[in-house]
Structure formats: C-alpha cells, structure tokens
Structure 1
C-alpha cells in the first residue's frame, strides 16, 4: 500500500504539492517517503513525483522507483497472481522490471492486463515524454485527478483534500474503465492536454466526463488496443432455472442443510470455499514481521453477518494459530433524545422508560449484538484461536471532530449522505481503537493489524441488497441479472476508491477477497439462480450460495441473518437527520 502523487505542470513554479495533501499521503505510507522532481526544457514541462510506502511485501523498496533509463514508477498495488513474484521479491520492483522492457503501448497493456490484484499506477516514460496512469478492473485502489485554475497543471493523487479551497468540480476519481496515456510533448506544444484511454476489453464505457475544462480531453484510443480483463463477463442466462426444494416460509439452518443435498449443490459450495479460501490465503500469508509480537497482523471489519463471518472462518485456516485475529466492530452512541423517542406516548410508563434508558447500554446497536453472537460461533469452531472482538464505541462529539479533521477530506470528491455514513463508520472501525472484554473486565485495545479484510463485493455479486428484491419483483430474473451486472460495473465509483482512502488513512491496507479475480470469475460463470433465490424470504434467499457455504463451514445462526447495511447496523444513520436520502448531498461533509 502506498500514497502516490504526480504533479505535472508547464511551469516549474507551479509544480508543487499542498502540505495538507502531502500529510494525507504520508498517513497512507508511514514507512518511507520520497520526492523526485523532473524539469525538462525540450519540450518544456516539470514533474513532481511523491511516494509514501507502507511496506507489505518482500524487501523494503522506496518509491518512486527509477530504472537505468530514467523511467519512474509509482505503484500502489499488490500482485496476487498473473505475474510471478517470489516471496523475497517486492512487487513494485517486479512491475518496473517488466515495464522497462516495454517498447510500445501494446507491451504496457500486456503487462498490466496480466496482473491479478488491486492496483493504481503512475508510470513516467522518459524517452516518450508520457505518463501512464490508471486503476485495476474493479478500481480497488484510489486515484484522483485534478487540475490548476489556469489549466496549466495536472495532478494525480491517491487522496486529495477539501481544504484546498476549491470545489469538487475540479477533482474527479479516475474511472476504472482502462489505462490512460498522457502525452506531455503534445501538451507542451499546444497547451491542450489530450489523454488517450485504453479500455478494458468487453466494457462498453462512456468516455465523455463531466466537469473537465475545455483544454483537457479524454479520448478513446483509435489504435484498437485494449486491456484483457482477468474475469469473464457475467453469465446472463435465465433459462433452465432449477427450483429449490424448501418451502418459502422455512428459513433455518436445517433448511439450508436440506438444500445442500440437491444434486451438484455441495460441489458448487466446495468450489466457492476453495476459490475464496485461496483468495484469503494470498491476502493473509507472508506478511512483514510484526512490530508487536503479541499483536494481530490481520483484522476483519466485523458485524457478525454472513460476509464477515465467512471471512473470519477462512482467515482462521491460514493465519498462524499463535497469532490473534482482530474483529473490528463499530457502534455509535445515540443521543438521549433519540434513545427516548416514542416513550412519551405512554404517559404512565414515561418515568420508568426514562430510568431504563439511562441504564441501557448505549452502544448495544444491532451490529454489536450480532457481532458478539458471531464471536461465540467462531470461538466454538476454533477455540484455540485468540479472537480479539474489538468494541469500537464512538460518541457524537468524536464523530463531529474526526469528520471535520479527517473524514471529509478522505471521502472527497464523493459527497452524499451515504458516503458520509459509510465513510465515518469505516474510518472508526479501521482505526481499531476500542476495548476487548476479558472475563468480567475489559482492556483497552488498539489493533496493530496492517491488513484489514472487508466483505465488499458479496452483496453486489450475490443479490444482497434490498434493491435487488425490488428489481426481482418488478422484472423477474431478467431484471435481476441486469441489476447485478450494473452493480459490479459501478462498484469502483460507488465504493472502492472511497473505502481505500478511508482505511489507508490509518497506515493499513484494505483487502477485498470477494473481489479477487478468481472469485469473481467463478461467480460470473454461475447462473443467477445458483447465487440467489429471491422468491425465498429475506435472510435466506439473498446470497443463498454464501449461506449454504456458511453451513458447510460449520456456522449456525449467522447463516440466516438478514442483510443489514453498515450505516444502520452501527446506528450512525440514526445520529443525523432521519429524513435525509442516501443519494442527497451531505451538508456535514461540505461544512466540515
């Protein structure tokens, strides 16, 4: 994980990086920071390359990394497959070695198209006077672009800041639709910046972006060159639907066990366990030596729901047994007025209710309750493992302070109520500061884990959201498969860049096993009815394949818990205006 940034300007005096942005980049990469400047006279331009490294793999390797020809690489990513990286090797060095041998755009695309894993890249080719940049197929790493007020400078960065005094209109997330090539020689001569877009193979993407100034244009390459996606298109078939054998009113683990007996069902489940387990193994093994030998190296964003429970169970297989695993569980304290709402309707009980409200634990939100239940299931399955169930409690005062100080800048340039709710909940969860219960007492705990596993991608692929039920009821299987295809196609712009910026602010790396290329490839080959059956009740039919997997892994009640979004399970949504819509612009972010 790294914080990477490149400022390009037609004037060397404007080739600077704002201090606030620099500090946020350093949060992402606390292990090593380095800046390299380049001033070129013919054609005339200047570049500032700034990189901040979180060491995760192989020998520590400072960035920007430079080869013998003067080419520079800023790499924020992990190579989990496609290209060979030995245990003792650093993937940044491996990537640069491959890119240094490239003689043409097709060579560059061939290398990047082979990589399995999350990445964002900025690569300067000295002889060609060009900069390549982009994000992986799913956009699992953040990359933003912005430009100066006079349009003579251009910035690519992992994270920006609202404090620059400019609106979000001049800062955009780089769309994860392909890889981009910026011709600095042409820009220097014409003052018009034309960026070629080399798209991912089968994506039908719109390259007309809103908000760009007139002097900057992004144009799909006319060379016909594309990147080869590492995942196949989604199976859109709706013929040959196989009916489920359980009755629609039954939603117990026993019913799931009955469904597992259907011909071929257990084989499908075991294939998912194998491919998802391998994705998790790649993400939790061979981590750097621990600075705290008693601390966890791996943490899970944990609600006790089906997605995080399966991540924890499979992580338990590959994390050494002498290491704890941190289960990060966040809860927001309700205001007194909100806790007591409704009690006045029963006048004779009001006094009793007021007393009860004062005694009631104020952080026992839904995710805290299911999280504790999930902990008990995990402890039964793996009693020798030390599970640190980290209770992260957030007051409204701390939420207000940290939103203004940190979170509003990390969410930027996104700005909706949903971005605020999820961004805040995830920031506090990833920070990992709370307490762990031990016997009748508790101890303060701050997670030392650099790797944070998150369940993003499960709902999008397995029909976990309520909107999937709405679409299924209105348009049947055809509507559902279209909705799922859209979900996966837009996940980079809705979730992943924001979540990467939020989690990395703590010097930690978000890892997304459900979005591993092999996992997505497997799920994309399955017809939709193998993944979900929305004719069955909530808490059962959505993510049905995952629920069957949970039972096969030995889980119990958590296998039939209904989906509950993080902003509701943690109760952060209850702290603010309940009449807000998720898609509305959030005034709390803009006023911070």
Structure 2
C-alpha cells in the first residue's frame, strides 16, 4: 500500500514546488514508512512525483523510483501471481524492472494484463514525454484525477481533498483501462488528450460499440480542455477473468430442496444440497480456490522470523499481522476460517467488529452497578478507557446486530481452532466522535463519492479499520489497538453470489436471465461504487485492504458456474442467497454462521440509525460536505 501522486504544470513559471499541505498530509497517512519527492522538468512542463510507502514485502524501496534514462515509476499494488516475483522480492522494484525493459506500447499492455492482484500506477517515460497511469480491472486501488479548466495543470493521486463549499474537483480514474498523456503535446496545445487502452476479451463481439460507449461515459465529466480518444493502434489489455456463464437451464429446476423452501433454514436444509455429488465437488473446488487466494494475501508480507517467547504465545501481547473486518456474517467468518489455515499458529488474528452507540433515552437502572463492576470499553477520540462491561448483556453494544453475530462467530472460530488466539476487537463509536472525525477527516477520503450510503459505509469502515477498541478477557475489558497492516475484507461476495435484496427482487420479477444481468452489472460497477472508497478509507490508517473474493482466479471460477450453482433465490433468506458460500461454511464447520441472512453493514453496525434514519441510501449526503479544512487540527488531536 502506498500513497502516490503526480502533479503536472504546463505553466512552468507558476509551478508550485510542493503539493498542497492537506493533500500531502493525506498521502503521508497512507505510506508512513518512507516519503520522497522528485521533480522532473522539461522545456514546456514540470512534473512533481510524490511517493509514500507502506512497507509490506521485500526490501524497503523508496518511491518514486527512477532509472538511468530518467523514467519515473510510482506503484501502489501487490503482485499475487501472473508476473514472476519471488516472495522475498519487492514488487515495486521488479515491476519497474519489467516495465523498463518494455520496448513497445504492446509490451506495456502485456505486462499489466498479466498482473494478478490489486494495483494502481503512474509511469513517466522521459524520452517520449509520455505519462501512463491506471488501475487494475476491478479498481481495487484508488486513483483520482483533477484537471484545471484552462488546461494549465493536472494531478493524479491515490487520495484527494475536498474544497470548501463542496465543489467537486477530484474524480475517480475509471477502472476501464490504462491512460496515456503526451505531456509535450498537451503543453503546446493546452489541451490534454487521454489516449485510452481498454480491457477487452479476445473473443468479445461488438468491441467498437462497447468502447465508444465507455469513451462517452468517461468524457462526460471532464473539462472541455480534456478529451479521451482510443489509442491509435487500437491496442487492448486482456481481461484477467473468464466471461460470466449466462447459461439458463433447459428445463425448470426441480430439486428435493424445494420441498423445504417454506421451512425455517436449518443446518439440515443446507446439508441436503451436499448429498448431491456434483454440488459437493463444486463446493470443495470453491473452497480450494478461495483458500489459495486467502493464502496469498496472508503470507505475502514481512514477518518477524524469531520465535516468540513461550509466555506470550497465548496472550494478546503477541502481534497480529492480519486483521479481518468482522461482522460474524458469512463472508467475514469464511475468510477468517481460511486465514486460520495459513497464518502461523503462534500468531493471533484480529477480528475487527464495529458498533455505533446511540445513547439510551431511558434513565439508568440497577443494572448500571453490575456494568461498572465488570468494566466496558469507551473508544471515543481514539483513546481507549475501560468504563463498563464488554460482554455483559446490559451494555449498549449488546443491542447492535453485528456485535451479537460477531460474538457468536467468535465462538464458532474458537471451536474450529481453539489453539488460535482470536482477538475479537470491540470498536464502539459515539455519535460525537462520528460527527467530529467525519467533518475533520473522513469526508475527504470518501469523496468524490457523496451519497448517504457512501457516508455510512465509509465511516463504518474507517472506524473498524482503525482498530482502536477493547478485548473481552476473563478479567474484564482490556484496551487494545490492532497493529495489523493487512486487513482482509469480504467485499465481492454479495456482488457475485446474489447477496443483495435487489437480486431477489430481480429474480422474482424477471427470472434467472435477469438475475444473470444483475450479477454482471454488480461486478462491473464495483470499482466505482465501493473499492476506491474502501481503499482510501482503510489506507488512511497506514494499512492495506486485501480482497480475497476478488482474486482473479476466484472470480473466474465463480464466473464459470451457472447461476443456480451459486445461488437459489427460490429458497428463503439465509439459504438461497450466496448458497455456494453457505455450503462452504458448513463444510468448514461454521454451521450457525452459514444460516445468517444478509445484513448490510450500515444496518448491522447501527450507523444508519445514528442521525437521520429517513434518508435514502442514494441521496446526496450533506454531512460529507466540508465548510473548512481542519486536517491540521485533526492531526494534533488523533493518534491513530
């Protein structure tokens, strides 16, 4: 994980030699281990490159990196496959080495087509005055752009800032392909032309029409001085996943499972499916491919090779390198269980569980004394203090759905592997803290997205990934802050496995064909709806988000299956949606969690109930608008 930025000015006499303080501050938070800047000047333009590194693998490599030809490279990514990089090697160094050896545009496209894993990059070719940049196919790493209306400057950055008054200046770079700018030509014409290299399947039909539509969509929000054109050689990146299987059954699906469709979901309901040899085989194939994806994401990072002292093996004093955004729901608990397969047994796993606390309207009762005796955690303003009970049934957080399912999920994981130290981190957020940190900081990270849903999820993920909370121990609550640099998240499961309520509505209204279309649409827009925002929010803590369900091999496997092997929405909630994942959970010994119905994070964590419960998720959120920039005061007040 890194913060990368390139600021270009075509008015050399007015060029600023440093980035604006608030932008630099946001970039530094993403990459706390090393910061470096590099200025490249030409006759008609200047480029300031700024790199901020979170060191996770190989030798610490300062960015930007430069070769003997004067080419400059900024990389924010992880290579999990497709390009040869040894476990101990640094991927920034190796990617730049491969990139420097590319002779043609086609070579560059071939290199990025082969990378498996999340990435965004900026690459400057000095001899040709070309600036290349882009994001991976799913958009798992954030990249924003900002253009001046007069064609005098542009900026490309992992994260932006929001100007006073709510004016949109930054936009997400579309994860539709790679872009190239001829800086010399742009300086002379004062018109920026974005040469576009889109993703494409080799066998795809109607390619021209499809990419004309993409070009039109990208151009719609750009200033008049900026235009997007297809690259002259009509070169493409190869899509890293197989096409979605849209096969429909030739006859109506009739299984003995439908006889129990009106019965409340039970373990036996799911086990009926596993009596079918084909389905059982598919489920185990899914477990295998997902397990490999998790393995790559939990092992590709630096670890202390010296064995820990015997006395800390069973305590929370042992550092956890991996954390999971953990609601106790089916997505997060399967990821946690698979991570347990591959993480060294002497290493704890942090389970980050967030709850938003609404003050009780009733007066205190006799239960208060019992709470004070046991103690619970207050994490306001990032400072943890023990106030009342963690785990006592009378505390406010016990009424938050995700806290309830999280604790139940913890018990299941402890049963599956009692030898593992599972750090269940209870993160409690008050309305006062939510409002303060949203106003001073989080709003800059969520932008340029601006809906009520973006506000709810962005804030919830920010507080969860910060990892400041407490652990329930036999001796009472103990303050705790997760030091894990890698955070696993279950995003991508709902999109691919028909997990949202709108999938069920679509199926009930128009059938399996329409459900296929909905699944394809969900995966196609995940970069613009979710991933850039989540990367900015999690990366703000100097931590890296990793998405096992969006591993290229996992997506290709699920895309290869017909829809009815992934979900059966004729069955009730808690069974039909994400069916294949529920069956995988049963096979992993997670039977109670396998039957939990989908619950959106904004409702499970109770953040949606904190302020205005009558809002629609798609409404523009006024709470995300900034009146004045207060990042500097935030930097002094928080220690996260």
TM class, shorter-length:
over 0.9
* Mapped partners of 1:77, 1:399: distance in 2: 30
> 1:120-519 counterparts in 2 under 5 A?
120-162=120-162, 164-165=163-164, 167-202=166-201, 204-205=210-211, 206-208=214-216, 209-240=219-250, 242-246=253-257, 247-250=260-263, 251-290=265-304, 294-337=318-361, 355=365, 360-364=394-398, 365-519=400-554
CA contact (8 A) 1:244 1:259 kept: no
Cα deviation for residue 356 of structure 1 reads: 8.7
CA contact (8 A) 2:165 2:625 kept: no
Please report how far the alpha carbon of residue 555 of structure 1 lies from its aligned counterpart in structure 2 after TM superposition.
0.9
Partner of 2:81: 81
Q: Deviations over 1:100-140 (max 9, x none)?
A: 11122111101000000000010000111010000000000
Q: Is the 8 A contact 2:485 2:542 kept in 1?
A: yes
Secondary structure of 2:397's counterpart equals coil
CA distance in 1, matches of 2:151, 2:234: 29
Kindly state the Cα deviation for residue 213 of structure 1 after the two structures are TM-superposed: 1.1
Q: Is the 8 A contact 2:151 2:191 kept in 1?
A: no
Matches of 1:36 and 1:546, distance apart in 2: 47
Q: Is the contact made by 2:353 and 2:406 (CA closer than 8 Å) also made in structure 1?
A: yes
1:31 and 2:41 aligned: no
Query: 1:483-536 CA distances to partner (integer Å, 9 max, x unpaired)?
Result: 000000000000000000000000000000000000000000000000000000
TM-fit CA distance, 1:242: 4.3
| Partner secondary structure for residue 224 of structure 2 | coil
The answer (yes or no) to whether the contact 2:150–2:225 under 8 Å persists in 1 is: no
Query: Given the alignment, which residue of 17, 20, 32 partners 1:18?
Result: 20
Preserved contact between residue 161 and residue 444 of structure 2 (Cα < 8 Å): yes
Give the deviation of 1:543 after TM superposition: 0.1
- 1:259-309: CA deviations, max 9, x gaps? 111131111011111100000000001421359981100000000000001
SS at 1:295 equivalent:
coil
How far is 1:440 from its partner?
4.1
- Higher mean displacement: 260-269 or 388-397: 260-269
Q: Is the 8 A contact 1:119 1:136 kept in 2?
A: yes
Verify the 8 A CA contact 1:434 1:446 in the aligned structure 2.
yes
Structure 2 residue 588 is the aligned partner of structure 1 residue 553: yes
Q: SS at 1:537's partner residue?
A: coil
CA deviations over 1:410-437 (Å, ceiling 9, x no partner): 0011100000000000000000000001
CA distance in 2, matches of 1:61, 1:553: 39
Aligned equivalent of 2:204: none
Alignment counterpart, residue 581 of structure 1, candidates 602, 610, 616: 616
8 Å Cα contact 1:290/1:297 also seen in 2:
no
Deviations, residues 38-82 of structure 1 (Å, cap 9, x unaligned): 1111xx100000000001111111110111211111000000000
Q: Are the aligned partners of 1:168 and 1:412 in contact in 2 as well (CA < 8 Å)?
A: no
Q: Distance in 1 between matches of 2:225 and 2:154?
A: 11
Partner SS for 1:578: coil
**C-alpha contact (below 8 Å) 2:149/2:225 kept by paired residues:** no
Asked if structure 2 preserves the Cα contact closer than 8 Å seen for 1:75 and 1:122, the reply is: yes
Cα distance, 1:99 vs structure 2: 0.9
Q: CA deviation at 1:336?
A: 3.1
1:311 Cα deviation from its structure 2 partner:
0.4
Q: 1:166 to 1:65 in 2, by over 3 A?
A: farther
Instruction: Output the CA distance in 2 between the equivalents of 1:31 and 1:545.
Output: 41
Q: Give the 3-state SS of the residue equivalent to 2:42 in structure 1.
A: strand
Q: How many pairs were matched up?
A: 575
Q: Distance in 2 between matches of 1:288 and 1:477?
A: 45
CA contact (8 A) 1:299 1:449 kept: yes
On the 8 A contact 1:335/1:575 being kept in 2, the answer is no
State the SS of the aligned residue for 2:324.
Answer: strand
CA distance in 1, matches of 2:626, 2:63: 35
Q: Report if aligned partners of 1:168, 1:413 keep a CA contact under 8 Å in 2.
A: no
Q: Which moved more, 1:207-216 or 1:373-382?
A: 207-216
Query: Match of 1:499, SS?
Result: helix
Give the CA deviation at 1:220.
Answer: 2.1
Q: TM-score of the superposition, structure 1-length normalised?
A: 0.94
Distance 1:244 1:305 in 2: 27
Distance 1:95 1:195, change over 3 A: same
How far apart in 2 are the matches of 1:371 and 1:460? 22
Tell me the CA shift for residue 149 of structure 1.
4.9
Q: What secondary structure, in the 3-state scheme, does the structure 2 residue paired with 1:264 have?
A: helix
SS at structure 1 position matched to 2:332: helix
Instruction: Name the CA distance, whole Å, in 1 between partners of 2:510 and 2:78.
Output: 39
Name the counterpart of 2:382: none
Distance 1:400-1:552 versus aligned 2 partners, 3 A rule: same
